[in-house]
Amino acid sequence: MRPYIRSNDSRRQRFGTRISIVVPAYNESENIKPLIAKFAEMMERSHLPAEVIIVDDGSEDQTLQFAQDEAHRHRFIRVIPHKRHLGLTAALETGFNAARGQIFTFWPADLQYYPEEIPKLIAKIDDGYDVVCGWKKGRYGLKRLVSFIYNILSRILFGVKVHDLNSVKAFRREVYDEMPTLREGWHRYLVVIAAKRGFKVGEVRVKLYPRLHGKSKFGILRIPIGLTDLFSVKYQISFMRRPLLFFGTLGFLLVLAGAIVGGVAIYFRVVLHEGYRPLLYLVMLLVMSGIAAMGLGFLAESLIYVQDEIAALRKQGQKIDRLSETIARLTRSRQTRDQSRRREPNLPGDRQQQQQQPQ
């Protein structure tokens, strides 16, 4: 079901929007108005053909009301509310799915990043990059240490040569179209997944400012959750597309271990004339487990093939939906122009031509 979008279509830029800036907001009522003022200032200076999509993620304060008030003052703002708090990843997906531009930008609502940095990210995209990360510079306490460890582990595990994966980002629409369905928290690994799929990744330095209003959403529980997600994404990137590599390797190692234990059992039985029945049971367990792991690998490969077919059909359906929406907008626009022409009074020259026509 499509989200309800608070907007006045007669005042929005239907065509020509190149950049979609998605701003998830949760209990950021004190930051919304100054943030939008900075967006307006940035767009006036840079003349970027952009829209700002504010996704209110079930805020319990006046974030939604303030955002809707600003949407009536500024043509470039669209507001999408969630009925309840769904999390940052869900808010980003809502914004990206509603975006009209060809370049997507993720921008927090906490005013720790100023919109004046956005033209730098877009310029890097125009230089030929598909994804551009912000490399934040500034003081941010405990989060600095956590971010440093996280980025070091990410570079070791994934080999992505950027300094900061957990900052503001800009990327082309096709990058998001190629993304799998993101689980909660996996927006942090969008850059990693994009890099592994062959997209060109770059970075620019951005300034990080201290939070002046509202409460930080960073909690100590995000550290173990982030680590488990890190290894989960590593598994998906390295083995999810090639499950037989993982299960086949595991199965081969188990069978090999069974063969080694079996050789030891034969040595004890033939050479030392001593028999250990537990070794026989262990050989059977290892060999059977290895064969079962290989069977799981073949089964997973079949499931991946089916998943790829479904994903291809889904992408075709999305393209058809976007084409249908474009045709519908063009049809409505043409009907509106035709109706306005019918309501206009005839010009004097037109009336004279009508009078001169033979009866």
Residue 59 main-chain phi, psi, to 5 deg: -60, 150
- Which residues does residue 132 pair with via DSSP β-bridges, in sequence order? 170, 202
| SS3 label, residue 204 | strand
The answer to whether the CB of 20 falls within 8 A of the CB of 53 is yes
pLDDT at 8: 41
| SS3 label, residue 54 | strand
Average pLDDT score over residue span 287-293 = 92
Sign of CA dihedral 136, 226, 169, 34: negative
pLDDT at 205: 92
The answer to whether the CB of 117 falls within 8 A of the CB of 207 is yes
pLDDT at 6: 40
Residue 16 main-chain phi, psi, to 5 deg: 90, 0
Residue 352 clears pLDDT 60, i.e. is over it: no
Residue 227 clears pLDDT 90, i.e. is over it: no
Q: Which residue has the higher pLDDT, 124 or 15?
A: 124
Residue 148 clears pLDDT 90, i.e. is over it: no
Q: Which superfamily does 17-240 belong to?
A: Spore Coat Polysaccharide Biosynthesis Protein SpsA; Chain A (3.90.550.10)
Q: What is the pLDDT of residues 23-69, one digit of tens each?
A: 999 988 899 999 999 999 999 999 889 999 999 999 988 999 999 99
Average pLDDT score over residue span 190-205 = 88
CA dihedral 171, 229, 216, 37 (to 10 degrees): 10
pLDDT at 123: 94
How many CA atoms lie within 13 Å of 202's alpha carbon, on the beta-carbon side? 17
Average pLDDT score over residue span 178-199 = 80
Q: What is the pLDDT of residues 326-343, one digit of tens each?
A: 888 888 888 888 887 777
Whole-model pTM? 0.65
Confidence band of 345 (pLDDT split at 50, 70, 90): low
Residue 261 clears pLDDT 50, i.e. is over it: yes
Separation of alpha carbons 41 and 74, rounded Å = 12
Contacts by 242-247, CB closer than 8 A, 24 or more apart: 243/296, 243/297, 243/300, 243/301, 243/303, 243/304, 244/297, 244/298, 244/300, 244/301, 245/297, 246/297, 247/293, 247/294, 247/296, 247/297, 247/300
- From the number of C-beta atoms within 10 Å of its C-beta (0-12, 13-18, 19+), residue 206 rates as buried
Confidence band of 184 (pLDDT split at 50, 70, 90): confident
pLDDT at 139: 67
Sign of CA dihedral 343, 349, 355, 359: negative
pLDDT at 122: 94
Average pLDDT score over residue span 187-196 = 83
